[in-house]
Structure 1
Amino acid sequence: MEIIRYAELKASPWRNGGGVTRELARYPRMPSAQDTAWDWRVSIAEVSKAGAFSTFPGMDRVLTVIEGELLLLSVDGAEHPLEKYRPFRFSGDADSAGALPTGDIRDLNVITRNGAFKGYTSIIELSKKRAHPVFAGQFGILLQGSATVSPGTAAGPATGPTPDAGLPSGVTEAEAETAAERVELNRYDAVVGSDTATPEILGRGFLVVVSIDPAA
């Protein structure tokens, strides 16, 4: 089970000084002298100053405000008021800029190369009773609240209780082992999905699920 800890990510300042970006993941992972020598990237930006956004030719973008009230995004001259937790898709080729009518914001950026991958962003309300799985090709990022994550089992959940004198009534041995393996998530930590022992997230608050799918 892989967790990307937000607190450990390096902040890279924007060229125009309007904010900083922390990259959660990219593909390919190999470092490159070219800033866009990747096919997809997931990052979180802190925007503290109005101004132009970088262009990403040949890319598709999904931007979601995850902290703050409002980003007034201009795309090729058209204004789009982006409220918190409302993903917005636009072309990386477009001339884009942001204004901050209600103050600083933080946003999640999912950028994919056209013809290679397609990115999707969904906001999920977490539950303490029903775990949310994170599958291969996905990232689960805690936006708000408290949550824990545990590795699932390849065989799936047990169908009935297993008698064991050391366990509470009705609790299977597999469920007890899963509870013992739970890891606490901090705000903006990202869980990397897997189809083998699929990670499962429980808690109260909001999770964003980013899906990176190969283009058809």
Structure 2
Amino acid sequence: MDHGSPLSAPARRKRMIVIAGLALPAVALAAFGPLGMVLRMLAMPLHDPDWHRWVATFNGVALITVLALPPAALAAWALARRRKAAGVPAPWRMSLAEVGIVYGTVPCAWIILLPGDENGAVVNLVPLHDLLTMDAGQIIGNMLVFAALGFLVPLRFAALASVPRALALGAGCSALLEILQYLLRLDRVSSVDDVLLNAAGAGLAALASRPWWRARA
């Protein structure tokens, strides 16, 4: 085999998808600060065996997300191998996209539905009102909530392979979470600005993956 020969176009696309998918968690970690602080934050639930600290706190959910990475990678490998054996086209792309959507979206939705520290449910339907009070970390965090969804959904589902559709999907999922925050009385702010930022993150992520799903089309 000639290791110096250039990769085919499908192989290059597959490699770039994998690299981009691995980069998303790195971007998320960078948004929360230096690596040492992140590691200390992840270690906090290990000092307390209380299940509440594991499933009902930000640190606990973050640690579970990190621990779930090897099983997620194994699930993607198993799905791809099964599809390849069945003769399904693009088995790795489909499997990585499916697992990536779940792995990259469920923890974010989980964190959003954790109890907050507001005195009762707060609703804000005035656009840009809350946005002006957010710091850079909050804005980036909101835009990352559905970034994996926006990046990978067009690669997996041809019917959603467009930036406006990914934007609409992100807005719909975000609105559902904001409504649940209010209905479940989680003492959090249900804000239209969160919907706007979540949707913008999904749309920008879809735009970032556009070269691959456009090439597929």
Per the TM superposition, whether the score is higher than 0.5 is: no
Which has more helix, going by share of residues? 2
Which has more strand, going by share of residues? 1
TM-score, reference length from structure 2: 0.25
